[in-house]
Structure 1
Amino acid sequence: MTAARWRIAGLAFVFLWFAIGGVAHFALTDTEMRIVPPWMPWPRAAVLASGVFELLGAAGLLWRPTRRAAGIGLFVLTIAVTPAHFYMLQQSALFPTVPYWALLLRLPIQVALLALIAWSTGAFAPRRTR
């Protein structure tokens, strides 16, 4: 497989990750709210807003002129939701249906996702001049 095809595959994965995740924020709002750290105000608004941004970012990946901006936005959004992963890890007893190993695995997966977003979207690649 060529590098271009790998990039398209990575882009497809990122698109599906955020499109499905964005829909989940609306379909499973109460479940998603459980992982919002208690120090964060307005958990419902946070879940719904992040769902909107996930869907907008996924849509932005589909059009080449907006792909880089969408990649930057999804990169920043992924960092912004990281406190929820740490909260779940620190308060694992509140999430008995999620195995502890899965909570631990989420952190390196988050790093891999960030790398995939940056690489597949060209989010931080130097801009080409025409």
Structure 2
Amino acid sequence: MIRSALRYLLAAFYALAGYRHLVDPEPFLKITPGWVPWPEQAVLLTGIAEILGAAALAQPYSRRLMQAGGIGLALYALCVWPANVNHLLMDAAREDGGWGLAYHVPRMVAQPVLIWLALWTSLTIDWPFARVPR
């Protein structure tokens, strides 16, 4: 029951984030690393990926589709990690410190948790709660 509730919560989080990428891309463009080609298209595609991943994760009818959504969102979170690191470095270079470490450190810690949560709630992995066979 907790797993399902967290799955729907995660899907809602990603759906909202995807929506934000589409309707207000500017904050995401600001933190996109300079080496990313076609940043506007990358932000648009990441928004679409979040919405599609959320939809797949939230549907209860196909385990394979739910797992595809979880794997996709886990890979997505891994791929956007450089933007989060870039944001941390940009803020650290600012006179006023930007959002500050109180924002960025939990965000850096949350990234692997989001990756695990996408895989665990989609029933792709059971770690660390798998039962050990006797």
1:109 paired residue number: 110
**Counterpart amino acid of residue 50 in structure 2:** E
Give the drift of 1:17.
1.3
Is residue 71 from structure 1 mapped to residue 70 from structure 2 by the alignment? yes
* Cα distance per residue 1:30-81 (max 9 Å; x no partner): 1211110011111111100000000000111122311011111111111000
2:132 paired residue number: none
Deviation >4 Å, runs of 4+? 94-97
1:24 paired residue number: 20
1:115-130 mapped onto 2 (5 Å cutoff)? 115-124=116-125
TM-score (norm 1): 0.85
SS of equivalent residue, structure 1 residue 54 = helix
The unaligned stretches of length 5 or more in structure 2 are: 127-134
Paired residues in the alignment total 121
**Counterpart amino acid of residue 101 in structure 1:** A
Query: Given that residues 68 and 123 in structure 1 are in contact (C-alpha distance below 8 angstroms), is that contact kept between their aligned partners in structure 2?
Result: yes
**Counterpart amino acid of residue 8 in structure 2:** A
Partners in 1 of 2:124 and 2:30 — Cα distance? 31
Calculate the aligned-residue CA RMSD, in Å.
Answer: 1.7
TM-score (norm 2): 0.83
Partners in 1 of 2:97 and 2:18 — Cα distance? 24
1:128 paired residue number: none
1:1-130 mapped onto 2 (5 Å cutoff)? 5-63=1-59, 64-65=61-62, 66-92=65-91, 93=93, 97-124=98-125
Partners in 2 of 1:28 and 1:99 — Cα distance? 23
Partners in 2 of 1:26 and 1:118 — Cα distance? 25
Query: Given that residues 8 and 58 in structure 2 are in contact (C-alpha distance below 8 angstroms), is that contact kept between their aligned partners in structure 1?
Result: no
Give the drift of 1:124.
3.9
Partners in 2 of 1:111 and 1:62 — Cα distance? 20
Give the drift of 1:96.
5.2
SS of equivalent residue, structure 1 residue 39 = coil
